[in-house]
Structure 1
Amino acid sequence: MTQPSRADWINTTHDWAGSVDQTHLDAIRADPDRYAPGGLLHLVLEVLAYPDDEAESAGQRGQCSITTYGDGSIAISDNGRGTDTRLDEHGAVVRKPIMATQDLRFFGNPDAPTLPDGHPRCGMSVVAALSEWLVHTNRRANGSWTQRYEHGIPVSDLRPVDPDGTTGTTVHFRPARRDSLPGLAPYLDYPHIEITVREQ
């Protein structure tokens, strides 16, 4: 069966037609205080909003962990279905371009919902653009992959990883601006996920 062209795929949260929007990423990096007010805390909250969405759409309470590392990086993992993937017209695996393109629901939308820090949600691309590096590991029932980004730009292809019997997403990133992370407890008000915090 012939797969439809990426340009013909239905867009809901992101535009599947392209995997990188350089102009979009440049705009974020040019004004970090606008897109990530409060710095690192806001980036963490942007990531957490996605597994919360996932758990809500699945009609169940999800599990999510935040791990802080001595090098200033943070890994956020969840037990959802993993980021959506599709096959293009050539049979190549395409993952939903959540890292390097804008979230059509929130970015630049004056009615975007606020995150628990009181600032509007902009999307995962803000996290990628404002990170020195970010590694997105995706486990789905139909396969698992990882990909590395630097300042929002993918610097590796999708690389397969061995299945471990689980599904979910891990976003491990090191912010370009080394802000301190305040105590997270007052900001973990996500109704559909249970969040644990640990230090590695």
Structure 2
Amino acid sequence: MTDGEARWRTTTHDWAGSVDAGHLRHIRRNPEEFAPGGVAHLILEVLAYAAEEAESTGRGKAVVTVHPDGSVSVADDGRGTDTRADGHGGFVKKPVMSTKDLRFFDFPGKQWLPDGHPRRGVSVVAGLSDWLVHTNRRHNGSWTQRYERGVPVTALTPIADDGTTGTMVHFSPGAEVGPVRLPDVDGWPYLRVEVVR
């Protein structure tokens, strides 16, 4: 960890490590606990971040798409996932996919999702997906990164800016989660959700 990283304030995730292998194993061993309701719950876990962003700005939009291969993507128009310079010419992103959301994971019931189950964080989506691609667009740069079972298998790969900001989480749910079923997506007052099948 650089001196700059040591000064980064921990809010939702601990910037000290990029992968918590034990955390991901715990999720994979307990899909019924962390994905009650299956894929519908995983979609809500992703939408919860877009809903937070929308509440902070007063409005937001997300698009949930079910793809022909059975994968699901959730794209929003927020600011994108926090990414910071590492002091060595590179960048570090907030480790949202592979570590605990410190606000919710160990505190079931602190926040409830619209399906009536506790929010645990997007790492449950990554851990219970065969693969997940996180695409991030911010004013200071855009990138994509692929995960398999919650573990990054590529580095941050820069992509061309297109003048927008936001995050897209595209994931292929593992067989243990069950078939794709869509949730009721009307649970957030500041976030408008469109579903594309």
TM normalised by structure 1 equals 0.93
* Pick aligned residue for 2:168 from 158, 167, 170: 170
Counterparts in 2 of 1:128 and 1:8: CA distance versus 1, 3 Å: same
Shift of 1:92: 1.6
Match of 2:130 in 1: 132
Q: Which residue pairs with 1:20 in the alignment?
A: 19
Q: CA deviation at 1:112?
A: 1.9
Deviations 1:4-51 (A, max 9, x none): 332332100000011100000000001110111111111000000001
Tell me which moved more, 24-33 or 81-90. 81-90
1:120 pairs with 118, 121, 137, which one? 118
Matches of 1:107 and 1:70 in 2, distance apart? Answer: 31
| Contact 1:117 1:187 (8 Å CA) reproduced | no
Once the two structures are overlaid, the 10-residue window that deviates more, 124-133 or 186-195, is 186-195
Aligned partner of 1:156 among 154, 172, 188: 154
Matches within 5 A, 1:103-114: 103-114=101-112
Quick one: distance in 2 between partners of 1:175 and 1:183?
13
1:111 positional shift: 3.8
CA distance in 1, matches of 2:142, 2:185: 31
Q: How many residues align?
A: 195
* One-letter code aligned to 1:52: A
Do residues 8 (structure 1) and 13 (structure 2) align?
Answer: no
Structure 2 distance, partners of 1:196, 1:187, is 8
CA displacement 1:145-199 (0-9 Å, x = unmatched): 0000000000000000011111100000000126233353x34311221000112
Displaced runs of 4 or more, over 6 A: none
Within-5 A mapping of 1:183-194: 183-184=182-183, 186-194=184-192
The corresponding residue for 1:48 is 47
Instruction: Give the corresponding residue for 1:35.
Output: 34
Which structure 2 residue ranges, 5 or more long, are not aligned? none
Task: Name the counterpart of 1:69.
Answer: 67
Work out whether residues 24 and 102 of structure 1, in 8 Å CA contact, stay in contact via their aligned partners in 2: yes
Q: Distance in 1 between matches of 2:68 and 2:169?
A: 17
Q: Is the 8 A contact 2:40 2:182 kept in 1?
A: no
Query: Is contact 2:113–2:119 with CA below 8 Å preserved after alignment?
Result: yes
Q: Is the 8 A contact 1:9 1:17 kept in 2?
A: no
Aligned partners of 2:16 and 2:115: how far apart in 1?
Answer: 32
Q: Which residue of structure 2 lines up, in the alignment, with residue 57 of structure 1?
A: 56
Which amino acid is the alignment partner of residue 101 of structure 2? D
Q: Provide the secondary structure at the position in 1 that maps to 2:40.
A: helix
Equivalent residues of 1:68, 1:198 under 8 A apart: yes
